[in-house]
Amino acid sequence: RSQKPSREARSPGQDAAVASNRPTTFRRSGRGLTLLGGTLPSMSGDLQHCVDLLQQMIRTLSLPGHEGELASLVANEMRDLGYDEVRIDEVGNVLGRIEGRGQAPDLMFNTHLDHVDVGDPAGWPHPPFGGEIHDDKVWGRGAVDIKGPMAAQVVGVARLLRGERPPGDVWVTAV
């Protein structure tokens, strides 16, 4: 992994991912990803699993250069979900693979493990590392960039294990 450039802390409002529950449709809104529909109690098992994983990820600090604990969490989740291959390489990248049928090229979903500093925690409406749900929004540093998408990739790709294998291998990587 190459050295990452430093990034400025963003405002707290940029880190609330909206979790709701009508038919699972995603829309990019000004401050994050919105799941259009319903309420948290009626979520599907996969969506609830994704929200639970997101909350664990938010509660796991992963500032640049200190991503090891989050890498272990992601790798263990992939193993628990039944990925065919999971490893953490020599520089701390997580690589998970669902084996395909060998009939198409591989497909890779890629994300990053680190997040920026929270800045002044007093400016947050909810604890930045709490992963708390308020008004159907999951709040915390990284909820939108990048732990929410990472949780969706890890859980979503595992669904490929429930039916016919994909034509090619599918990789989820977190660097």
**pLDDT per residue over 105-164, tens digit each?**
999 999 999 999 999 999 999 999 999 999 889 999 999 999 999 999 999 999 999 999
Half-sphere exposure at residue 28, Cβ-oriented, CA atoms within 13 angstroms: 2
User: In the sheet where 32-36 sits, what is the strand order?
Assistant: 25-29, 32-36, 16-18, 137-139, 133-134
List, in sequence order, the alpha helices (H) in the chain: 45-58, 68-81, 147-158
Indicate the pTM of the whole model: 0.79
Q: What are the backbone angles phi and psi of residue 30, rounded to the nearest 5°?
A: -55, -30
Q: What is the pLDDT of residues 40-87, one digit of tens each?
A: 555 688 999 999 999 999 999 999 999 999 999 999 999 999 999 999
Buried b (16+ CB within 10 A) or exposed e, 59-78: bbbbebeebeebbebbbebb
- Contact (Cβ atoms closer than 8 angstroms) between residue 44 and residue 142: no
